[in-house]
Amino acid sequence: MIRVFDLCTLVTTENRMKKQKYILALDQGTTSSRAVIFDGMGNITAMSQSEYTQIYPQTGWVEHDPTEIFSSVVAVSADAVARSGISMSDIAAVGITNQRETVIVWDKKTGEPVYNAIVWQCRRTAEYCDRLKADGYGETVYKKTGLPIDAYFSAAKIAWILDNVKGARVRAERGELLFGTVDTYLMWRLSAGRIFATDHTNASRTMLYDIHRLCWDEWLIDLFGIPSCMLPEVLPSSGVFGYTDRDVFGAEIPIAGVAGDQQAALFGQRCFDRGSAKSTFGTGCFLLMNTGDEAVESKHGLITTLAASGGKTPCYALEGSVFSGGAAVQWLRDELRVIGTAAESETYAESVADNGGVYTVPAFVGLGAPYWAPYARGTITGITRGTSRGHIVRSVLESIAYQVNDVLAAMEKDCPSDGIKRIAVDGGASANDFLMRFTADIGAHEVLRPAVTESTALGAAYLAGLAVGVYDINELRKPHAGVTVFKPSMTEEERKRLTDGWHKAVRMTLNG
């Protein structure tokens, strides 16, 4: 079912008279596909969203139907255009941002997927990755890719399809099959097979791409046993990749911007310079800090990755992933049923003066950065007879901020000269004022929440718009309007007491 958001910025009569060109941003996420239309000022004129099926064949396995993904993207695009009152001929360019690491393998001639998309969350290849680490490949893989060997990334998923789908490896070696992350699959379908490409940011998440030489790496390809003929061309995030087919959108529109969702959000938050950082508060929390032209090798459990830029050369970023952010609030609502809506979490959290000594470590699928403990499981500590619903709810919201702060602290250790003073935020949970205030307090950083929190789609729009002249980088560098700033007010003594309590709870989780 398509949901249309009418919190849209209306296009003025003057802009219509000028026949202003628009950017269609396709935000293909883990649970839904969205189409957002931006005008030449970066304002939203229309947005449409459609959820699609989540497939769980076994415990720890997560899949999507690629055909359903594509159909949902086409449907929301048409709906958003209709709602905006413009036509496809008014679209200057398409920008694509996508769930990263998710793998699709399809037939080169027919476009038919040989298997469902294996989603980034899927843990089916965890044992395979453990064997590679035990065999001593971890350091070399990290040096080349900036990534730890983990089932999170694409390479092991591709290998699983080739080894477990009947005839897939033979067909791949004959050049009959193609691999792509979701952006590649969408471009291939939107262009009727004329575009077979990805961008640097998505390539950097496959564990097959050398982020220093900016190329597919033969050693990595051999390690995972993946035929190189399956791999797409890698292009800059901003630039014309090709054109949509008339039979799909009714017009040939340039696809001119592509980036993985978190790199797109970094760009959408205008974190163009070294030291600027953002956190997306979604199902998980994803933090990125721009490190400019330096690929900083993390010593504190972070990922070194490529970031999007408006030019031909990407820049670098440090990244930390928190696995359970908004998912912990969903757990309160859907499994414990102690809140009726996610928004109620703020009311309950503020109904108590503090957390009452209660700490929740939401390690539902392990702990991400900087711990990388995939087999850890959640704990709640400090419960007494006086513990109330408010204390439990507050401890869950606080846990999100603690996890974010752990990643920010690791970033500051890896880049001590940069000193993070403020962090830009977006994502659904960023609407929670209590969470944003506590994030500012516990990290002693200013938290900046923009008026338009659709930063992922906005980043894709900026990248596409820069390529076709709708946007200008100098204009984008100007300050945001309507930013809400949360300033830290907690004493250092209180901050240390609370953080020490959190780290004690984490140690209990890791040692449990």
Distance between CA 346 and CA 310 in Å, rounded?
38
- Mean pLDDT for the stretch of residues 218-244: 96
Distance between CA 401 and CA 439 in Å, rounded?
5
* 474 has pLDDT over 60: yes
* 153 has pLDDT over 80: yes
Q: What is the pTM of this model?
A: 0.86
For residue range 484-504, what is the model confidence (pLDDT) as tens digits?
Answer: 999 999 999 999 999 999 999
* 12 has pLDDT over 80: no
**Per-residue pLDDT at 11:** 39
**Per-residue pLDDT at 3:** 44
Distance between CA 248 and CA 244 in Å, rounded?
7
- Mean pLDDT for the stretch of residues 333-353: 93
CB 11 within 8 A of CB 20: yes
Residue type, 81: V
Distance between CA 154 and CA 117 in Å, rounded?
11
Confidence label for 417 from pLDDT (cuts 50, 70 and 90): confident
pLDDT > 70 in the chain, percent: 96
- Mean pLDDT for the stretch of residues 275-297: 90
Select the more confidently predicted residue: 114 or 476. 114
**Per-residue pLDDT at 10:** 36
**Per-residue pLDDT at 5:** 39
**Per-residue pLDDT at 4:** 40
**Per-residue pLDDT at 114:** 96
Q: In the predicted model, what is the mean pLDDT of the chain?
A: 90
**Per-residue pLDDT at 427:** 85
Residues near 42 by Cβ (< 8 Å), separated by ≥ 6? 452, 458, 461, 462, 471, 476
Q: Which of 246, 119, 99 is nearest to 184 (CA)?
A: 99
